[in-house]
Amino acid sequence: MSTLVLASGSAYRAELLAKLQLDFISFNSEVDESPQPGENPAQLAIRLAQAKARAVGVMFPHGLIIGSDQVALCGTQLLGKPGQRQPAIAQLQAQSGQCVEFYTAVSVFDASRNRCLTDLDITRVYFRQLSLEQIEHYVDLEQPYACAGSFKAEGLGIALFSGIESSDPSALIGLPLIKLVSLLARFGVTVL
pLDDT in tens, 139-182: 999 999 989 899 999 899 999 999 999 999 899 999 999 999 99
pLDDT of residue 70: 94
Residue 192 lies in a domain: no
68: domain range? 4-185
Residues carrying an active site annotation: 69
CATH at residue 76:
3.90.950.10
Bridge partner residues of 127 (DSSP)? 161
Residue 126 lies in a domain: yes
Predicted model pTM: 0.93
Residue 129 lies in a domain: yes
Determine whether 127 is exposed, middle or buried from the number of CB atoms within 10 Å of its CB (0-12, 13-18, 19+). buried
Number of domains in the chain: 1
